[in-house]
Amino acid sequence: AKAKGKKGVSSTPGDVAVRYFERFQPPGTPGAPNDRAATSSYFGVLVAYGALSKWMANHGGKASTSTLARRRVLPVLAPGAVDSSTIAGCAVRAAACWALGELSNTGALPEEPTHEALLAALVDPVGKSQPALRSAAASAIAASLHASCWPKNWEPLLTAAAAAVNDAASEEEENDASSLRALRLITVAAEVAPEHCGAANLANPLAAALARAASSRTPAR
């Protein structure tokens, strides 16, 4: 049972933490401060939300967790919410992706908004110069698929994952974290929903991505 404080308000550490973080406004929302200090503070909030995912799964309630994701995490990934031209801005977006990946284990995330936001982060051109963003998005998508948080349309997701692997221009890019996480995303999708990977327009690029990864990691004889 939850501990109750004055006026019946839950006073477990998790409840207290969630209420405390509400004083920080998500970047890009009306009235939110637009400065580096505020952005840095919200990075910490997002990391905390991810760290609290197990507590939320056991005590938070699905409705409350879904509302938190919609109001406190997904807005960070909205177009223009954060200045992606800076390392700090991309780090906040990457933290939002990671938080969604962790929260997917609660079974409470809104599926379509979650996948739309993560896919947008995965295909954002800034990911070329800021691979941490693409890496976090691919990892979060893989985690959500494992948690049975699935998109209605798999084609854009799988096409983007294959492109992230196949478009690598050098051995260094093939082995960076974003390409490896995209590769893992493909294998997770093949594991949990193989029927979506066999469509005629997807099978070839997915197979090419897996073959390229295998050949680049096979020792020469």
The pLDDT score that the predictor gives to residue 201 is 87
pTM score, whole prediction: 0.87
What single string gives the DSSP state of each residue in the chain? ---B-GGG-B-SHHHHHHHHHTTSPPTTSTT---SHHHHHHHHHHHHHHHHTHHHIIIII-HHHHHHHIIIIIGGGGSTTSS-TTSHHHHHHHHHHHHHHHHHGGGT-S-HHHHHHHHHHHHH-GGGGT-HHHHHHHHHHHHHHHHTT---S--HHHHHHHHHHHHT--SHHHHTSHHHHHHHHHHHHHHHH-GGGT-SHHHHHHHHHHHHHHHHHTSPP-
The pLDDT score that the predictor gives to residue 220 is 45
The series of mean pLDDT values per 10 residues for the chain, 221 residues long, is 53 88 92 86 96 93 95 96 90 97 96 97 91 94 95 94 79 71 92 89 89 67 46
